[in-house]
Every structure is written in C-alpha cells, then in structure tokens.
Structure 1
Amino acid sequence: MKLLTFRSQGTVRWGAAVDGGIVDLARRLPGIASVKALLEGGDAALQQARAALADARPDLQLADVQLLVPVQQPEKILCIGVNYAHRNAEYKDGSTLPQHPSIFVRFPDSFVGHGEALLAPPESQQLDYEGEIVIAIGRPVRRASSREEALAAIGGLTIMNEGTIRDWVHHAKFNVTQGKNWQGSGAIGPWIVTADEFTAGYGQLHLTTHVNGELRQDDTTASLMFDFAHLVTYLSTFITLKPGDLIATGTPIGAGVRFEPPRFLKAGDRVEVTVDGIGTLSNPVRDEEVLR
C-alpha cells in the first residue's frame, strides 16, 4: 500500500494512492484517524485497510489535493549522517570509517509535503538538498535483539529531501541542529510504501536526486555503512521506537556543497528525489516571505 495524508477542501484526511488517484480511507475506516493511527493499530489495522482497498476505485485525483507529510507530527524524526561509504571519503579529513552511526534530530515543522515549495530563508544563501530513504516504524521496539526483530519493526519506507542551511550547520562546534531545522527547508513524501511491498528486502534500493533535471546524486543502499536493521537495532538500544517514528538513513555523495564552487538551491529550482519501489518526491524552491 501507498499510504498518504492529504488536504482536500480545507480538511486533512488520509488514504492510499491507487491507479493515479486516492482512495479515501478516512471515510471507509472512521475508527482509524490517520496514517500514524493505522501504524499504531498493527497488523489488524493494516488488514482492515487492505480489505477496504480491495476493488476500491479512487475517490479523488492526486492532482486535486495537497499532499502533506505522510505521518503528521511524528514523535521522533531521527536522521543519520554520513552513512554512505563514499560520503566519509568526501570529507577528505583522513578519518577511518565510523564504528557507530552519527545521529541528529529534526522537528516536524522543518518539512513540507510533496509538491510544496521548499523555503529559502533570507538569512542564508546556502540552502542545500540531500536525497534520503526514510524508515517509518510500524511497531514498538526497544533493544531489538536480532536483525529479524529490527526488520519486523519497519512499517514502510518513504523519501526525504533533507534540506540543510549549510552555513548555519557550522555555527557551533558540536551540533548541526540550527542548520537542519529551518522551517519548510526539507520535504517528506509523497507516501509511505508498506514493508510488505519490498519482497526483495532493502539491500539494493536505488536513489537518485535531480536538480532542474540534472542528476546530482546516484547510489544504492548497498553502499550504506549501517543498514536498516543495524540502525533500528542501534537506535532502539537507547530509546523506544514507536509507530510513526521516522529514521532518515543518510544521503549519497553529490550534495550541492561538495561542488567547486558550491551549487546551492535558489528560488525557481526544482528538486526531485526518486527511489525505486517508492516513487518521486518533487518540490520547487521559493524565497521565504518574511512578514515584519
């Protein structure tokens, strides 16, 4: 299933993408309030959703609604830094490969949905893109004791453009929080593809990022230093991962900051992040309007 959240005629609803349209599952399953509630309901709720989709025809067209971040107000958005092996070499600092994942957090308001504009703030000219695959947790897990338990906690996958304000990342020595959380600087979507769709596993997922049609990032999850099972195991050691929590698994080489000279985003640009088996997250860029 492709689970999504959308706004139609001023109302936020949830459903599934089917045949280029949307089946309104909020109407068909009134006891389940959202995508997050569906994930919290576990296998029983997912079976309800699948039953509701059987032979269902779209109620709405994708073009007629505003797609939102699939999980609204997730409790946790955990982001993994420098997780593709080539990225470590990209820093050219002579460091060895890390023994543990690098982790930071983002806030829900720093993201928009598919099709919405990324906001370039007036305080910086260094808005950058980072295409990533995102794990959506589907069941609670703490101290996963095996790869099988960790993988079973994955409810599905979505896509992130983990927009970064590069100069603000370097305002302090030991954190990146301020550069990673500008309002509307990143995007998540267009939907969550449930885990049962990935019958071949997660080891060869292909990700590309295009800016204005130009290929900038191109890699597969075979290059990850810490794969999905490892990330869920490591993170669940110190915190309970809950349904609807999101884990951004890292970005390949090719971000704008790494070009000579750097190629940051500007108003009028369009960023498209595509992952085989999920789809394409597409967003234009516009200057943020500052009211004074």
Structure 2
Amino acid sequence: MGDVQGGAAPDGVDGQVAVVRRFNRSYTQRVGALEDSFLGTGLPLGTARLLFEVGTEPGTTRDLRARLGLDSGYLSRLLRRLESDGLVAVVPDADDRRRRRVDLTPAGRRAWDDLERRSVDRARDLVAPLTPRQRARLAAALTEADLLVRAATVAIERVDPASDPARTAVAAYVAELDERFPGGFDPGPAASAADPDAASLAPPSGAFVVATSDGEPVACGGVRTLSGAAARGADGGVGEVKRMWVHPGWRGAGLGSRLLRHLEGVSRDLGHHEVRLDTNGTLTEAVAMYERAGYRRIARYNDNPYAEHFFAKHLA
C-alpha cells in the first residue's frame, strides 16, 4: 500500500493521494474505527455514528439518508439494530404520515450521552501528549482539511428553480446581498411563486443547480439564455449566470470556482458560445474570481440597478 514519510507534502497527484490514504489508515486506527465495539460502546462504528446523528439532530429517515449519505437499505439495517436494542423509536412523521421519524428513546439518550463522553475522552487522550502549540497546529490543520474534504465531496445537481432546496439557497443569497449592499437589496418577487427569473432558469432555456453537503444547500447558481439587446455583440448563443452564491462558511475552499466551472458546462449544454454575468462592486471576492477564471470586462448589457461590473467569457 506504500507509506509516505513525514515532512513536506509531496508534489503531484499520486503523492497527494498517498498522503490522504496514509492519513485515513492512521486516523481510523487511532480513533477506534476498526474495533467491533466502537469506543467500547458495544456498537460498530456505523451504528454508533447513526445513534450520534439521531441524538444530535432528530429527523426523518430521508433526512438521515441525506446527512449521512447512506442508501435506504443500509440505513434500514442500522435502524433495525438500534430499534432492537431499544435505543431509537421509528414512527410515522406527524407532518407527513408517508415518512418515518426517528427519535432516541430514554435508553437511547443515555447511550448517546455515554458515546459523547467516550468520544471526548478519546479525542482528549489523542492530543494530550502534544504541546499547546502543537495542539493549535493540529486543530488548524484538521479544520482546513475538513473544509477541503467536504468541498471536494459536495454534490452539485440540477433542480427545479421553484423547489425547496433552490428556494432555501436563493433566500440565503438574497439575505446576504441585503446585508452587504450599502443600501440593502430588494429582490422584488425573487424566491416567490411570482419570481420572473425562476421561469427563465428552468428548461428548456435555462437551468438551476444547488450544491449540497450533509443534505443542506451550501451553494447555488443558474444559467439562462439571453436574447435581443442583452445578447447583442456576441457570436452565437449567449447565456447568463444568475444567482451564484456560496455559503460564507465554505469560502476559501475553491467551491466558488468549481461551481462557476460547472455553470459554464451547463451553459455549453444549453448551446451557448458565450456566457455573461454582472455583479456589484461590494462583492470584491466575486470580481477577483471572475477575473481569475478568464472573464473579460464588457459594457453594460442589462438594466439591473445593482450591477456595477459586467463580464463575459467565450466558451471553447
């Protein structure tokens, strides 16, 4: 399997992959993931992890599948084990009888408290031999690693712009613009049933995507086809990126650039040879990202009152 010795991180994809594999082997061994009884709880890791998730944020089986990335068959087997041990109760959801809700029983709450205590103790034992400076370095490194791994595994999928995930993401986008723009932001009917942009971001002339992690929207964006005066000056079909947003907690991990590349691909799929976008000068990080991605500045092409900078990129 090959180990990588300590020191500077190796160059090249193969060396970086080897580092990730070595860390996975080392970490899973040291946190007890390989033991039949995780942390001495009597439960294997998968079952213990599900117990922890239910106790942290109860919800429906669909919620748990989304947050943990489990298929329905495996989740059902884990839940049967927890039910047979008297640790969880699976009942019809009061809001929708077609769904099943999972909650801890009193015995399950005691088991959750014990699991939490054991997990804290194991983590404390792991860092105890380190100096305060080493513990700070470890915490910073793991925070960065966690963000990058989650960003790398985010799922970007096309959705109906009127769907709940899209509305949730757009509402966050609108709220951030309202907070950051000096005079606030009035989206008009955005994120409502009367939203005129929603139709333009739906097939066949548009598309909307949402990036999710642990079942929650963390980024979004759409592409629509421009026509008439807005498309003037371009050779061939012209698309426009709209409502591109990345959750503040996810910035700095490259998710914005990945989302932009994905939207460019969507634009190509829609038959566009050029893609355009506009932004406000307050969003300096967005302006910098567009310039790094090869967008060129162009003259105003729309009547968006909040737009101050206009960009275009030819799609090879």
What is the TM-score normalised by the length of structure 1?
Answer: 0.24
Structure (1/2) with the larger strand percentage: 1
Q: Which has the higher contact order (CA 8 A, sep 6+)?
A: 1
Rg (Cα) greater in structure? 2
Richer in helix (by share): 2
